[in-house]
């Protein structure tokens, strides 16, 4: 992975804490095909994991406390998705279990790359093992859905065609690709975009998208996001010099896909002087399952 982001330093977690990687995701295609009575949107999306990671350390404690040692500025630690995930799993277990958590954020927040959801998914997957709860993958995915619509995908842990609000997942084969991502200097509000009056909500449902037809892949949220946030449109214009870029999730990140690493790296080298950028590869499997 290449990035022009400065290295982040962290209060050093203890040596006996388990260190784990929480990968980011990209939505290679995202269509909105309807809306449920509770206001949630019915989606069809292709999700892939990428080699950009938050780093999480976990250690079980006997005090029964769930403690995040690295709170994010302006976020109440109790509202942090890692703490909410651990608390939800502990409630499910009915036991008095504790965990210490350290988190190093590398995935940009508010970027449509799923960092918070990935962190929450990893806490569920790892504490399920460390607390010896033996929940199966489907049970963890169902719990994860209570924390966010993207969480089940990270527990599923491989490239997926997602339906429903993101909880119905099927494996889909896509050749390895490299991506150049630009993070525009803006934070997109997901609820604001989902509530937008001009959002496309009537795309035609499909059985299963085909990789050969990828030149037609699109993101139904891109039109309203670019209208509301000129920074996203600007980032798309920059990548459009090299191919057909797309936005991930509800933005703000935009990306371009490449079949080979050298071309991706050459484009990254051209854009990374002036923009917050990343050069990453798709992952076959979540590192937790390797």
**How open is the CA angle 149-141-80, to the nearest 5 degrees?**
60
Give 3-state DSSP helix, strand, coil % of the chain, rounded to 5. 30, 25, 40
The nearest distance, CB 253 to ligand C5P, in angstroms, is 15
Q: Specify the residue, 41 or 84, whose C-beta has the smaller distance to ligand C5P.
A: 41
The nearest distance, CB 27 to ligand C5P, in angstroms, is 12
The nearest distance, CB 153 to ligand C5P, in angstroms, is 11
- Rounded to whole angstroms, the maximal C-alpha distance in the chain is 56
Distance of CA 220 to the CA centre of its chain: 18
Rounded to 5 degrees, what are φ and ψ at 13?
A: -70, 155
Q: Specify the residue, 40 or 289, whose C-beta has the smaller distance to ligand C5P.
A: 40
Q: Specify the residue, 35 or 59, whose C-beta has the smaller distance to ligand C5P.
A: 35
- Pairing outcome for strands 98-104 and 160-163: unpaired
The nearest distance, CB 25 to ligand C5P, in angstroms, is 12
Q: Kindly tell me which residue out of 166, 209, 245, 251 binds ligand C5P, with binding defined by CB under 6 A.
A: 166
Q: Give the whole-angstrom CA distance, residue 89 versus residue 40.
A: 24
Q: Kindly tell me which residue out of 29, 44, 119, 150 binds ligand C5P, with binding defined by CB under 6 A.
A: 150
251 binds ligand C5P (CB under 6 A): no
Of 146, 17, 20, 165, the C-alpha closest to 85 is 146
Q: Give the whole-angstrom CA distance, residue 237 versus residue 153.
A: 30
Q: Kindly tell me which residue out of 149, 181, 239, 277 binds ligand C5P, with binding defined by CB under 6 A.
A: 149
Q: Kindly tell me which residue out of 148, 157, 245, 251 binds ligand C5P, with binding defined by CB under 6 A.
A: 148
Q: Kindly tell me which residue out of 194, 234, 263, 287 binds ligand C5P, with binding defined by CB under 6 A.
A: 194
Residues 31-90 within binding reach of ligand C5P (CB under 6 A):
39-41, 43
Residue 46 belongs to what H/E stretch?
A: strand 41-61
The residue from 29, 80, 100, 150 that is catalytic is: 150
Examine residue 252 and say whether the peptide bond preceding it is cis (omega within 30 degrees of 0).
Answer: yes
- 176 noted as active-site residue: no
Residue partners of 66: CB distance under 8 A and separation at least 6: 83, 86, 87, 90, 98, 99, 101
275 binds ligand C5P (CB under 6 A): no
* DSSP-assigned letter for residue 40: P
Among 2-10, 127-135, 145-153, 265-273, the segment contacting ligand C5P (CB under 6 A): 145-153
165 binds ligand C5P (CB under 6 A): yes
The nearest distance, CB 125 to ligand C5P, in angstroms, is 18
The residue from 25, 80, 100, 119 that is catalytic is: 25
First to last CA, the chain: 19
Q: Specify the residue, 133 or 165, whose C-beta has the smaller distance to ligand C5P.
A: 165
Q: What is the residue-wise DSSP string for 129-192?
A: HHTT----HHHHHHHHHTT-TTHHHHHH-S-EEEETTTTEEEE------EEEEE--S----HHH
- 150 noted as active-site residue: yes
168 binds ligand C5P (CB under 6 A): no
Residues that bind ligand C5P (CB under 6 A): 39-41, 43, 148-150, 165-166, 190-191, 194
Q: Which residues are annotated as catalytic?
A: 25, 150
């Amino acid at each position: 992975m290449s990035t022009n982001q400065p290295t982040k330093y962290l209060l050093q977690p203890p040596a006996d804490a388990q260190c784990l990687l929480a990968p980011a995701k990209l939505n290679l295609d995202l269509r909105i095909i309807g809306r449920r009575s509770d206001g949630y949107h019915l989606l069809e999306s292709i999700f892939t994991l990428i080699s950009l990671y938050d780093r999480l350390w976990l250690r079980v404690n006997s005090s029964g406390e769930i403690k995040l040692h690295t709170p994010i500025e302006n976020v109440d630690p109790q509202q942090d998705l890692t703490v909410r995930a651990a608390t939800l799993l502990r409630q499910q277990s009915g036991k008095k279990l504790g965990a210490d958590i350290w988190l190093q954020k590398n995935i940009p927040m508010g970027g449509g790359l799923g960092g918070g959801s990935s962190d929450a998914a990893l806490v569920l997957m790892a504490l399920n093992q460390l607390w010896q709860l033996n929940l199966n993958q489907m049970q963890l995915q169902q719990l994860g859905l209570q924390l966010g619509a993207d969480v089940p995908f990270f527990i599923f842990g491989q490239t997926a065609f997602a339906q429903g609000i993101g909880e119905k997942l099927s494996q889909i084969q896509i050749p390895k690709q490299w991506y150049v991502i630009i993070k525009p200097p803006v934070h997109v509000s997901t609820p604001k975009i989902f509530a937008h009056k001009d959002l496309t909500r009537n795309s035609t449902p499909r059985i299963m998208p085909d990789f050969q037809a990828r030149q037609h892949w699109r993101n139904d949220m891109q039109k309203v996001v670019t209208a509301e946030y000129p920074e996203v449109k600007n980032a798309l214009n920059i990548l459009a010099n090299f191919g057909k870029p797309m936005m991930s999730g509800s933005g703000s990140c935009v990306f371009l896909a490449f079949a080979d690493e050298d071309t991706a790296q050459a484009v990254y080298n051209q854009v990374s002087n002036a923009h917050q950028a990343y050069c990453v590869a798709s992952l076959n499997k979540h590192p937790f399952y390797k």
